[in-house]
Structure 1
């Protein structure tokens, strides 16, 4: 079951980065993200009601749902959507793949789990890999602060996601119901984003362009309802650090799509950068269990 959840999550989230790029433009970012999670929340509540699994939550549950909303269903995506203004979506997925390293840093900071030498080696490899992925922009004559701004925004979004991992793991350790908590968290995230939109003076209407609407539905139903719940189920089953293995493979899917649809151009430095990012994560955490079992089965 863990293997199935793992690869479904990789496939879904590896494709959502391109769909995010299709949403950026006419509709303000907070409005786009808000409608994504509003639709996702409504769909998930409807599924739970149909299955008669819509249970009431305790005050503690709602607090956890609110924290998840801030980390996983609002602020992180405000950053990711905004970053697509500065570089291809596949590069954002590369930055996002540093989530396992940020998870370990958070455990060091919050739970005093001191990282070992292996972790430090992997963290350095991952950081150098990200720098190499952006090397062509760094050394370009057209380089400006926008690239650094986009990179910084992506890192902030990834950190929010990492904190959400820890919140979800804590919630599931307390036997909180996964799907109802997620449905409320998405709803809270949507309300938070709509409030931000109104404060900024944005209308809550969104583009009716076919590509935009298709991306919105895909992100709300497949990317959010299915993708997040398979991922959070993995967090509950195998823990946040191991579940974050999924992010190691996201860039390979996302960059492949970015090459075809966004014209991302590969260079030797970007290729070496991807290898270092993936290798750095694997250095920290080792090979994922599904890949280990697949390899041993072939021996």
Structure 2
């Protein structure tokens, strides 16, 4: 069962990278995330209400739930949207997969989860892989790969931190659906505030590609995948659960090559092998 959860999470999130790239254009990233999280929040809490899941968050846990929403559902998603607007979605997903390393480090510091030398070697492999791909510069017409890399790295750190906070909330016995539903609303509010503070104008794209990708992201890549992912966190711990994001690039790179004409040359393939190998070390020795 854990293997099936792992595979579904990786496949749905792998498709989400390309769908996120399809969101770029009329609607700015913060507003796209805010709209997506509002819909996801209503779906998640509605599902919990139908299933009779307790939706109230005890007062002593509200700050942690809000922090999870801020990191995982606002900062990470806005940063990833910005990344895919500047570089192929497959490469952005590849950088995001390093969140397993950040999750392991943050979990060690915050939760006392033990780590071993595997993390050190895994981190080294990840750094080497990123250097192989991005130091020479990725030549993509009309893109800004280095700026995209910076945004993707922010998404990876925020995802790792959000994963760790999610593990803390599950250790406290909070229902996953309630945490995700309220976290999504916090993410929506934070994203809207981000847009207002940065003076980002509101606009809605009504094209078929935007609406279709929006629904996929809000339902499949948010509601369904979030529940699958944090169930994996409960079963495996934050470091091992975040390893699903090491498999996501395999799906995302293939889709990016098919639909975004990403050239899978030796720098991309060698760098991807190093990054994914690093995540394997983190998983196998965590």
TM-score normalised by structure 2 residue count: 0.92
Q: For the residues of structure 1 that align with 2:258 and 2:197, how far apart are their CA atoms?
A: 38
Q: For the residues of structure 1 that align with 2:142 and 2:122, how far apart are their CA atoms?
A: 28
| Partner residue, 1:225 | 223
Q: For the residues of structure 1 that align with 2:260 and 2:87, how far apart are their CA atoms?
A: 10
| Partner residue, 1:27 | 27
Contact between 2:19 and 2:213, CA under 8 Å: does it hold in 1?
yes
| Partner residue, 2:156 | 158
> What does residue range 68-87 of structure 1 map to in structure 2 within 5 Å?
68-87=68-87
Tell me: CA distance 1:114–1:170, structure 2 relative to 1, closer, same or farther (3 Å): closer
What is the CA distance between 1:134 and its match in structure 2?
Answer: 2.7
Q: For the residues of structure 2 that align with 1:2 and 1:164, how far apart are their CA atoms?
A: 21
Q: For the residues of structure 2 that align with 1:142 and 1:171, how far apart are their CA atoms?
A: 43
Contact between 1:62 and 1:184, CA under 8 Å: does it hold in 2?
no
What whole-Å deviation, never above 9, does each CA across 1:183-217 have from its counterpart, x for those lacking one?
Answer: 00101111121222234444544111111011111
| Partner residue, 2:207 | 209
Structure with max Cα Rg: 1
| Partner residue, 2:258 | 260
Contact between 1:33 and 1:74, CA under 8 Å: does it hold in 2?
yes
Gapped runs of 5+ residues in structure 1?
Answer: 289-299
What is the CA distance between 1:232 and its match in structure 2?
Answer: 0.6
Contact between 1:135 and 1:269, CA under 8 Å: does it hold in 2?
no
Q: For the residues of structure 2 that align with 1:141 and 1:14, how far apart are their CA atoms?
A: 21
| Partner residue, 2:93 | 93
Q: Secondary structure, in 3 states, of the residue corresponding to 2:168?
A: helix
Contact between 1:169 and 1:240, CA under 8 Å: does it hold in 2?
yes
> What does residue range 53-202 of structure 1 map to in structure 2 within 5 Å?
53-110=53-110, 116-134=116-134, 137=137, 146-202=144-200
Q: For the residues of structure 1 that align with 2:189 and 2:117, how far apart are their CA atoms?
A: 43
Contact between 1:135 and 1:270, CA under 8 Å: does it hold in 2?
no
What is the CA distance between 1:2 and its match in structure 2?
Answer: 1.4
Contact between 2:33 and 2:77, CA under 8 Å: does it hold in 1?
yes
Tell me: CA distance 1:60–1:253, structure 2 relative to 1, closer, same or farther (3 Å): same
Q: How many correspondences in the alignment?
A: 286
Q: For the residues of structure 2 that align with 1:179 and 1:77, how far apart are their CA atoms?
A: 19
Contact between 1:21 and 1:81, CA under 8 Å: does it hold in 2?
yes
Q: For the residues of structure 2 that align with 1:118 and 1:181, how far apart are their CA atoms?
A: 31
Over aligned residues, Cα RMSD in angstroms? 2.3
